[in-house]
Amino acid sequence: MKIQLLDSTLRDGAQSQNISFSVEDKINMAKALASFGIDFIEAGNPFSNPKDTEFFDAALRLDLKGAKLVPFGSTCRKGADASQDASLAALLDTSCEYVSIFGKSSAMHVEKILETTPEENLRMISDSVSFLTSKGRKVLFDAEHFFDGMKQNPDYAIATIKAAASAGAYAVVLCDTNGGAFPDFVKIATEAAKESIPDSVILGIHCHDDCGLAVANSMAAVEGGAAHIQGTFIGIGERCGNANLSTLIGNLQLKGGYSLVPQENVGKLTDMALFSAETCNVKLPGFLPYVGSGAFSHKAGMHADGVLKARESFEHINPELVGNRRSIVLSELAGRQSLIEKISHFGIKLEKNSDEATAVMARLKELERRGYVFEAAHASFELMVLRELKMFTPFFEIEDYKLIESQTGGVNSPANAMVKVKVGDRYEITADEGQGPVNAIDKAVRKALEVFYPILSKMKLVDYKVRVIDSGASTAAITRVLIESSDGGHSWTTTGASEDIISASMTALIDSIEYMLHKNNVYNYMQ
């Protein structure tokens, strides 16, 4: 069975906290969603947002590979003629074949929010849909607060969707607008809605995640007869977000036997989610099902050992089906076999009960006891293994360094750093300034080392994170630092931990530089 998908990232997703799209962002996202096989792309309200008007003007020139752009608006105002309503006119001005309008399905909302009569609300719905269809548009009617309405006054809630259907709506979409419904009720209410409208009218579902049930409610609606799902690709949206389409595609297409997107695109699910997050300027949450970096990560030793022996023991699907991959997280909880598996990725083969494996495991546990965490610092982990196995020779030594900080203090206050580095039997002394002591030392160290290793001119510090561990310990508290670096094509993360933030930062910084030199097979002057 084919299930239609409407992605509302560019409309409902834009209502998410701290999310803002440029016109170019919207164009890029629309093209990506279309290529992925999304049926409808709800791209904004051209009446209330000039930026959306600009987007729809530009979108007329896009090749969306069969996907339909959908402008969003509302029914006409109370007491107003639909043909004279400016918001409906704005929908027509986009020249889009499909348009979406919302109207109230809750008697309480009609009375207290719209402050009108139940009859007038039905008139607003009917006239708005009729007017748009008379202009050749296919109307998706969003029955706002439908499930609340079904609890308060089910006869009236049903009357609103029947009014839209009778007026010629292409689809009637049942909305759990405040995200408070539960799956059992959603299925029952959807079945009642399905019985009340003609089979020619598509029944849809639009759920918010305020109870963490948007995906479950959407699936319950499909069981109840819905054939059209609305959501956002990574679940962003008003308040707690919308139904996560990437999860629904995984659940319904891989496990439910439904067709939502072309089968060949399911393997691109993770890439599409990452692109969506990048366009939204957010980090893709690692805990997201199917597409998150942690969706197939294994930290507990028993879990990691089990999945290496039989994938299905702790993985509900093969990660490759959705373009993701397994990750064995190294920590004090890791088992010996997990450690061996991780180290094998460095081209190093160790026997499970070898002295070398025992030594690396002991070193890992000792460093984590001192505050190090290697889950997100794979570069530092690799260097730790190489050092413990006596397979790594340092590229340089920091002989000495001095810092002069602004009297105002603080991580980002102006600072000057002077460093003395030793490479082989040669020395280099240099100084630089930066925003904060860490930035100053970073610049000074790399400036000195570029004399010997010019490739370091490509390296830059991308991100710097600090966490104080056991802050109640006052001056004895451990500070953990994570540094993300990049050479313009690849990025890597290193870590350091110490009672002193500068010492922790220096450890992470040295690891970062040595990792880049190691990965680029740079000649080691100290050999």
Dist. CA 389–CA 279, nearest whole Å: 42
Fold of 396-452: Double Stranded RNA Binding Domain (3.30.160)
**Strongest mean pLDDT among 69-83, 313-327, 358-372:** 69-83
C-alpha separations of 247 from 230, 235, 255, 272, 279 in Å: 13, 9, 11, 12, 19
Query: Running DSSP on this structure, what letter comes out for residue 433?
Result: E
The residue with tokens 């996907």 is 67
Looking at the chain, the whole-number percentage of residues with pLDDT higher than 70 is: 92
Between 452 and 333, the more confident residue is 452
Q: How far is CA 305 from the centre of its chain?
A: 29
Q: Please report, as a single letter, which amino acid is at residue 418.
A: M
* Residue position matching structure tokens 């595609």: 249
Q: What are phi and psi of 166, to 5 degrees?
A: -65, -30
| pLDDT tops 50 at residue 400 | yes
Q: Going by CATH, does the domain composed of 4-261 fall within 3.40.50.300? A: no
pLDDT of residue 469: 73
Lowest-pLDDT range of 171-185, 345-359, 506-520? 345-359
pLDDT higher than 50, residue 430: yes
Residues 136 and 335: their CA atoms lie apart, in Å, by 64
At 286, which helix (H) or strand (E)? none
Mean pLDDT for the stretch of residues 45-53? 87
Separation of alpha carbons 359 and 190, rounded Å: 60
Q: Is the pTM of this model over 0.85?
A: no
Domain boundaries, the chain: 4-261, 297-388, 396-452
Q: Are the folds of 4-261 and 396-452 the same? A: no
Q: Indicate whether 118 pLDDT > 60.
A: yes
The answer, yes or no, to whether residue 308 has pLDDT greater than 90, is no
| Three-state secondary-structure class, residue 484 | strand
Per the prediction, the chain carries an average pLDDT of: 91
Helix, coil or strand: residue 318: coil
